A = this chain, B = another copy of it.
Amino acid sequence: MSERVASAASAYRGQSITVVGGLGFIGSTVARALVRGGARVTVVDSMHPQHGGNPFNVADIADRIKTHVIDGADTTAMRPHVRDRSVVFNLAGQVSHVDSMTDPAGDLASNCGAALGVLEAIRLERSSARVVYTSTRQVYGRSQDGRIDETHAVQPVDVNGIHKVAAEEYHRLYAQVYGVNSVVLRLTNTYGPRQLLRHGRQGFVAWFVRLALLGAEIPLYAPGTQTRDFCYVDDAVDAILRVGLRDGVGFEVFNVGGSDTRSLKEFTETLLRITGTGAMRLVEYPADRKAIEIGSIAVSDQRLRLTTGWRPSVPLDEGLTRMIAYYRAHARHYLENCE
């Protein structure tokens, strides 16, 4: 864990915190940081078989957290876990854009249902907990005018994006109508240890990392020149912990950018250099993915930087090196039963 994350987490010492989706990739990294910072941490996770929940992500801190297998959409079950909390970090959700198109009803339940269920639990408990909700820069869809800040029009290109917009709107509404303070973070391509690798539908990073680790060929959709921001998970968690300290702000939205902006081809070359295994081949763009492709995108995170002092600290090369080392050490917990 980086010093920045440890420092941000120490502000939560002694506080009671719930992390929804806390067995998943980013959620478990938040939970781990909070435990190290001295918070009392409750982890809630639906353990949906296609999502990122993996008990190994918190195996070494399992005796220092309370874990409950609950779907965030189950307001009744959620209520005890928002009671007397200072912050609820809601990292739960279905994150696959492709799956949202083949199973839109499942995405609806996992994204809208779970966001609403957590907010309803807070409303019904009259909890003063603040909420940090992780959304996605996918809500912007295709960039209309280059660099994207938080005032850019929202026009999602897939069902997942539509539901993330609705989930953001719930938070705005619950702040306005019920005074539930919340911060929405629109994350970009976040990568690092503890990410689901078992299937290739949660974004190209995890998919490509798996293929490289297995020494397989990465099918890069030609020409691979579209760019993405890359954010190492510790940097995303640093942002999440910083905004969780913002009290009495009503409702806020921040983009979280990355350390690096690279083309998919450059990213893949970097990855293959680090792993030393695997290969890359340019292939034709499949129709189902092309339909929801957004082209080059880069978000502006000036608002977050100016408001909280946040800045990314782990460059792509270093982050990928840490990520690959983690999966090589713990391969059987992430690379067995792959689809």
Contacts and interface: CB of A to CB of B under 8 A. Distances in A.
A53 interface: no
A283 interface: no
A22 interface: no
A104 interface: yes
The A interface is mostly helix, strand or loop, or mixed, namely: helix
Contact of A177 (B73, B113, B166, B292): B292
A103 to B, nearest CB: 9
Interface of A: 73, 75, 101, 104-105, 108, 112-113, 116-117, 120, 156-159, 162-163, 165-166, 169-170, 173, 176-177, 291-292
B105 A108 contact: no
A118 to B, nearest CB: 12
Contacts of A157: 173, 176
B169 A165 contact: yes
Given A162-B166, A166-B162, A105 B113 contact: yes
Contacts of A101: 177
B120 A112 contact: no
16 contacts: A75-B105, A104-B120, A105-B113, A105-B117, A108-B108, A108-B112, A108-B113, A112-B112, A157-B173, A157-B176, A159-B173, A162-B166, A162-B173, A165-B166, A177-B291, A177-B292
Contacts of A113: 105, 108
Contacts of A173: 156-159, 162
